[in-house]
Amino acid sequence: MHKKNAQQTVIQPGITKQQKKVIWSIWKKGIGIPDDDVLYALIKQQTGKDHMSDMTQKEAEILIGTLRQKSEGSLQGATAAQMYRIREFVRQWHWSEAGLRKFLLRVTKKDKMLELTPQEARNVLAAMERIRAKNESNKDKAA
């Protein structure tokens, strides 16, 4: 008789309504970026999940801690304004998340926006400005 080892799946409790309220409050009031896409990009980078409701309570607590540090300016990462501007370029150019990661990797050797320093974010934005200028120049030549 063979005994099967039953693997037990541990189900993590999902994010609570209170945690969602805290995240949105910090995002809207503390960080002050009007674009929800940047928040969801942060969630995707930090948890690998596309939706806040898919997060566990532990993932939510970690995100809340990160957002609090960002809102207090105690993280040495890219500023919220820099992340917003990068996201605006991504949206205008219809880049995928994979495309953004490749670009970040090429410019900074990092593939996550959360890991960028303010200087690295400036380098990314400068590279994006050069791409925009080149694209506009090519449009002028074609006309």
pLDDT > 70? residue 6: no
Which of 37-46, 72-81, 117-126, 131-140 has the weakest average pLDDT?
A: 72-81
Listed by start position, the domains of the chain span 13-75, 77-143
How far is CA 32 from each of CA 64, 80, 81, 121, 142, rounded to the nearest angstrom? 15, 8, 9, 18, 40
Q: Which of 95, 89, 72, 103 is nearest to 133 (CA)?
A: 89
pLDDT over 70 for what percent of the chain?
87
Asked whether the beta carbons of 66 and 115 are under 8 A apart, the reply is no
Band of pLDDT at residue 131, cut at 50, 70 and 90: very high
Mean pLDDT of 98-123: 90
CA distance 106 to 54: 31
Mean pLDDT of 90-109: 92
Mean pLDDT of 82-99: 89
